Structure 1
Amino acid sequence: MTLIVDQSTINIQVLFMVNKETKKALIEKGAEIIYLKGFNNTGINEILEAASVPKGSFYYYFKNKEDFGIQLIDHFLVRFLSGADRRLSVTKSSYIERLRVFFDDFLEFFKGNGFKGGCPIANFSLEMSDLNENIRKRLDTAFDQMNNKIALFLEGAVKNGELPEDLDTGLVSNFILNSWEGALLRIKLTRDVYPMKLFYNFVFQDLLNFN
């Protein structure tokens, strides 16, 4: 039997793939620039040029810069969540050790970046929370999702006997995330690892040292 494929169908599929890749390039290049320069200090044309996308094409992929910002938050969030999932899947070590290694991954990145940048979602929060309500709401839910992911490490540790059964994992994960973000802010100022050492010492030697 001969399979007949409509040329128009092929064209639509190719166009869809091209559009998807172009949008991905805009988000990835935008993420790189905004991570270091900030959202308001980065122009649309700068992103288009970095992504090698013709000027005027931005509004084909995004409603406006706010829409781009919200999708950029999603992009940063996926990186955080997928990194956590990778560490959660490593069954050879304890859950507390997996959590520590998860933070180690990010710390090594920040070291390699000269302690510049920090957490992109926190940076967004500091810059945009008072300026754009829709972006603020998305950032708030993003932090909830980050907190819930950290709580999975703690819940696993409780089930594994590494932490007390009555531990409020949601409360502790909130504290850990807030402490982590505070330490990241400080290392941007100090340009050294000392604030992060304080975070590690308290969280992993004092707070989570159950056994």
Structure 2
Amino acid sequence: MPKQTFFNLTSEKQKQIIDVAINEFSQSTFNEVKISDIISKAKIPRSSFYDYFEDKKDLYKYIILIIREEKMKYMEPALTEQQESFFERLRGLFKAGAEFAASKPEFEKLANKMFENMEIIYEIFGTEELDMSSAYESMLMKGVEAGEIRSDIDIKFIAKSIHILTSNLMLESFEGSKETLSEAIQKTTKNIINFIKFGIAK
């Protein structure tokens, strides 16, 4: 996280630095982005950068947290919806992700570059912090209580499977595709839900 000296800056100056960094990370992968370019375009001395952040990873992590916070504003209604079925909530979750990507093009570009180098994301955050399994567990339990999902399923296993399935398929559906992230999410959502709901048995 940024140092207190960063938060002591005016909101306008903070935004200027973050906007420049977002633009840089949306144009190039993490390894390609240079601190020298960020400080030059943000019009701050190199010494000031290290007064604000520990290093490039510290800045990158903060930006990802900002994006995740913004994304949760879109996801929260789907996660808390009580009236819809499990599969409608799941569809709503994926739809919210697509809407977020479409409404925040600068974040979408950064996400595209992030997908090109997921190793750095796992290095910075670890795997647990990016794990959606707990949210899926809650949704599954509500589905069982509502009688729409079998009560004999292993909820933790299914939740983890959905997390792995969605994470990998969403990523793979975009890699090498000419579609936007939003289009890729929408296209993959239907196939994922049909697979989870109906399986492959005849």
Same fold by TM-score, threshold 0.5 exceeded?
A: yes
The equivalences for 1:107-118 within 5 A come to 107-108=98-99
Question: What is the one-letter code of the residue matched to 1:125?
Answer: M
Aligned-pair distance for 1:100? Answer: 0.7
Q: CA deviation at 1:69?
A: 2.9
The answer on 1:179 being equivalent to 2:165 is yes
Matched, 1:142 2:142: no
Q: Which residue of 1 aligns with 2:3?
A: none
- State the Cα distance separating 1:59 from its structure 2 match: 1.4
Asked if 1:170 is matched to 2:156, the reply is yes
Query: Residue 172 of structure 2 aligns to a residue in which SS?
Result: helix
- The reply to whether residue 97 of structure 1 matches residue 84 of structure 2 is no
| CA distance in 2 between partners of 1:76 and 1:125 (Å) | 16
Distance (Å, rounded) in 2 between the aligned partners of 1:21 and 1:165: 53
Q: CA offsets per residue over residues 89-144 of structure 1, 9 Å max, x none?
A: 3334223212212212323555786x966567654524x26xxxxx6162312222
Q: Superposition RMSD on alpha carbons, in Å?
A: 3.6
Cα distance 1:86–1:120, how it changes in 2: closer, same or farther (>3 A)?
farther
Asked whether 1:208 is paired with 2:200, we answer no
Aligned partner of 1:55 among 36, 45, 49: 45
Q: How does 1:44-83 map to 2 (within 5 A)?
A: 44-48=35-39, 52-56=42-46, 57-83=48-74
The answer as to whether partners of 1:87 and 1:99 remain within 8 angstroms in 2 is: yes
Contact map agreement 1:27 1:72 (CA 8 A) in 2:
yes
Q: Which residue of 2 aligns with 1:125?
A: 118
Moved more, 91-100 or 69-78: 69-78
Query: Which letter maps to 1:205?
Result: N
Q: CA deviation at 1:165?
A: 1.9
Give the distance between the partners of 2:112 and 2:140, measured in 1 at CA.
22
State percent identity of aligned pairs: 20
How many residues get paired? 186
Contact 2:79/2:135 (CA < 8 Å) preserved in 1?
no
Compute the displacement of 1:22 (Å).
3.9
User: Which runs of 5 or more structure 2 residues have no equivalent in the other structure?
Assistant: 1-5
Q: Report the Cα distance in structure 1 between the residues aligned to 2:127 and 2:10, rounded to whole angstroms.
A: 30
Q: Distance in 2 between matches of 1:150 and 1:22?
A: 39
* CA shift for structure 1 position 16: 5.3
| Cross-structure match for 1:154 | 140
Q: Which has the larger Rg?
A: 1
Distance 1:20 1:165 in 2: 51
Change (3 A) 1:180 1:68: same
SS in 2 for 1:161: coil
Q: 1:93 to 1:122 in 2, by over 3 A?
A: same
Contact 1:77 1:121 in 2 (8 A): no
CA distance in 2 between partners of 1:161 and 1:119 (Å): 39
Distance change (3 Å), C-alpha of 1:66 and 1:103: same
